[in-house]
Every structure is written in structure tokens, then in C-alpha cells.
Amino acid sequence: MGFIRSRSAVAPLRRGVPVSFASAAVAPRRTSVVQAVALHRPEEPMHCIRPGVLKDTAASFVAAFEQAVSGDVLYAVKCNPEPTVLRALWDGGVRHFDVASPGEIRLIRQMFPDAELHYMHPVKGREAIRTAYQQYGVRDFVLDSMEELQKILEETGDAQDLGLVVRLALPKGNAVYDLSGKFGAPAADAVELLRAVRMVAKKVGVSFHVGSQMLDPAAYERALELAGRVIADSGVVIDVLDVGGGFPVSYPGVTPPPLGDFMEAIARGVGRLNLPAHCRVWCEPGRALVAPGVSLVVQVIKRRGNELFINDGVYGALSDAGVPGFRFPARMIRPFAQMTDAPLDAFAFYGPTCDSADKMNGPFHLPADIQAGDWIELGQLGAYGSCLRTAFNGFDQARVVEVSDLPLLATPGYDLKSCVA
């Protein structure tokens, strides 16, 4: 018998080929990626989940945020809703979840009945609000307009036990993924909104998001300064201050400042605001908690010069390698033939679909003698990887295995010792 895994519509890997690490006698849980490749010879993309890395990463983050501001860490479920991933984060001490759809709410409630859920999507459908409040006991909702406030009040029957968090718009910053355009109330509107929610909510908060893969710790201080001005102008006493997500991880050629620098910046920024003693500080990390904990093994189908045609692409788990131009750490895996000492060369990838846009320029650095039939492991794909897969062109099959390797790249400030002990 294999491990029992929850099924979920929001975790697309559940639609893949059956996990064949079913028997501990065949493959012990402390298996390496290379062993898994040798065992399965996978011809479809193989997602390699590192539960130990995920657990230790979460534990490091939770401890750092606790030490900095005694705050609560809300995992942003959208980033990777895979049940094995969620279980590892829970084991690492995550008890709060940033959910943004009824599907995510259902999944987390099923898996962790005692989890604290916070509905952090600023624009929700009416039925989604009703279901969240009435069926799943969600009380905290984010909003960025009077219209959304009205909707929440109507759909919860003017509930008296709401936690309402006003999402503040930030000016465009220097995050790799800018999130400034879609959501957030401008400062003047946020002042009015805060006063309005204070009249009706049991708990009132302010939130923002500095953008994803934010490499500058000072961005949090600047955002906190703006939040402080809005809170002061409103004259409202707040109960929650949510500094959002955005915490970065390493990619080839990019090593972020250590996690501690971000925590110190947040502690300084929060310290200047003179918040009431009861006010909780929240954050909503996604990428930082899960990117290092999953890698992807792909197979080379054809080589054309320095272009490799591989079996996953921008319509699969490599969407960020397309137009956003993310580069991922790469290594060749060749379990059945001698590895040579060929130097590294720069390669671009084509995905398996017939669309010419299914191209990833990289460059990805791999041995110069790589050829069709070889496998490649791509690291840091736990965030915004498998959750973005589509079934386009019929390429919707994938394998999932659990492995015990460390990540291909280390991100400074995280203690992953226990997972290799």
C-alpha cells in the first residue's frame, strides 16, 4: 500500500500518473533524485518533493518571524497546494493559511481542521464569501474597496465577528514580480476604508504586498512607513498589521540577503509605528517557504545545437522560465552511462507542445555533451511550478516522488540541518 494522499482540484499534480513509490520495500523514503530517476526512467516530468527541506524551511521562517515581531506566518496556498507540501509545512509549524478561493479553503479545512484560515483575495465572488463564512468558518477577509466591504457585509448577514483587513496599494517597486497594479486601495481611499471597517468589524487590519522575489529588505520598511501614515491619518486603532509575502530565494546568479536582514527591516519598521500592544503582525510568504523544497526532473527528447527539446515547458511546471525569464539551477542526470568531464555550456529549452512560445531561453548551464535520453534536474521549482500546469496539447501527465536531497541552491538564513541528520 502507498501513502494515502488527499485529492484536490487545486493541486493539479493529483491528475498525474500514479505515484509509483508505493512500497517502502521498493523505494525507501530517504531516496535520492538520482535513485528515483534510475528506478523510474521517467518519460514524463517527475516532481521531486523534499518533505524534510520544506519542514525545515518553514520552521526556520516561523522561528525568525516569531523572534522579530512575535508574529503569525500565513502560508500563501496558491503558491503550491500539493498535499504533501502542505503536510510538510504543517510539520514545520505553519498553522495559518492565506487562502484565496473556495477550492483552497476546502482543501485546507479537509487536511487541517484546526488551521486558521484568512481569505486574502481582495476581490471575491458573492458565493465564495458566503461559503467561506457560513460553511468553513472563515472570519478574516481582505478588501480594497467600499464595494467589497458592502458585499462582505451583505453575504455574511452583517456579521458581528468579522476580521476585515484593508489592502493598501504600494507604488511600483523593484520586485522581480511586480504586484502593484491589480490590488490595493490608494492611501486616501485606505484611510476612508479603515474608518468604515472600524465601525462594523470586530478586528481591523492593514496589509500590503511588496511584490514577489523582493531582494531589498528596505522595501518592507518603506511599505510600513506608508502603512503607518495611513493608520495615523485614519485615527483608527488596528488589531492586525500584515506585511504580506515577497520574501526571496536564490536562483542562478542571484543570492538574496539573508532572511535575518528582512526580519530586522520588518522589526525596525513595525517598531516605529507605536502599534497597540495587542496588535498582531502577520506575513504571507509563498515562494520562500516552498521554492527550495521541490525540483523537477525532465528528459531531453532531442538536441538541436544548443537547444534542447524537453518533456516539460511553459504550459507545464516551467511557466516562469518562459516570458518571466526565470533561470533555474540545473544538473544533468545520466544514471546508466558514465558521466564525462565535459565542460558546462549554455542551453535554451523548448517545451513539448507545438506552440513556438513554449520556449525557455535560460540560459541553463549543462554538460556540453548532453544528448537525447539524458535527464535534467531543475531546482527551486516548489513555488509557482506545478500549480501552474495546464493540459494544453495533452501534456498533462506527471509523476510525483518524495526524496531526501538538499535543494540544488541554498538560500541564506535557513537552517536545513535536521533534514540531513
Ligand X SMILES: Cc1ncc(COP(=O)(O)O)c(C=O)c1O
Candidate segments 64-72, 87-95, 243-251, 316-324, binder of ligand X by CB under 6 A: 243-251
Other beta carbons less than 10 A from residue 7's beta carbon: 10
Smallest gap from Cβ 177 to ligand X, in A, equals 7
> Under the criterion CB under 6 A, does residue 244 sit at the interface with ligand X?
yes
Whole-angstrom Cα distance, residue 229 to residue 69?
Answer: 20
CB 206 within 8 A of CB 194: yes
- Cα–Cα distance, 24 to 21 (Å, whole number): 7
Q: How far is the CB of 416 from ligand X (least distance, A)?
A: 19
Which one, 157 or 412, has the nearer CB to ligand X?
412
Q: Name the residue number minimizing CB distance to ligand X.
A: 245
Sole window of 239-247, 319-327, 350-358, 408-416 interacting with ligand X (rule: CB under 6 A):
239-247
Please report whether residue 212 would count as binding ligand X according to CB under 6 A. yes
Site string for ligand X, 381-400 (x = CB under 6 A): --x-----------------
Binding status of residue 246 toward ligand X by CB under 6 A: yes
Kindly identify the residues of this chain, within the stretch 73-132, that bind ligand X according to CB under 6 A.
76, 79, 98, 120
Task: Count Cα atoms within 13 angstroms, Cβ side, for 7.
Answer: 3
248 prior amide bond cis, ω within 30 = no
CB atoms within 10 A of CB 214: 26
Question: Would residue 354 show up in a list of annotated catalytic residues for this protein?
Answer: yes
Smallest distance from ligand X to CB 118, Å: 10
Candidates 251, 287, 245; CA nearest to 266 is: 245
For the bound state, the minimum distance from the C-beta of residue 101 to ligand X, rounded and expressed in Å, comes to: 12
Number of residues forming the site for ligand X (CB under 6 A): 16
Binding status of residue 55 toward ligand X by CB under 6 A: no
Tell me phi and psi for residue 55, to 5 degrees. Answer: -65, -50
| Binding segment toward ligand X, per CB under 6 A, in 18-26, 149-157, 262-270, 286-294 | 286-294
Distance CA 306, CA 366 (A): 10
Residue 209 is a binding residue for ligand X (CB under 6 A): yes
- State yes or no: residue 245 binds ligand X (CB under 6 A): yes
Report the candidate in 343, 345, 382 with the shortest Cα–Cα distance to residue 362.
Answer: 345
Q: Which residues of 83-109 are buried (b: 16+ CB within 10 A; e: fewer)?
A: bbbbbbbbebebebbbbbbbbbbbbbb
- At closest approach, how far in Å is the CB of 290 from ligand X? 8
Does residue 286 touch ligand X according to CB under 6 A?
yes
d(CA 306, CA 368): 9
CB of 91 to ligand X, least distance (A): 20
Residues catalogued as catalytic: 354
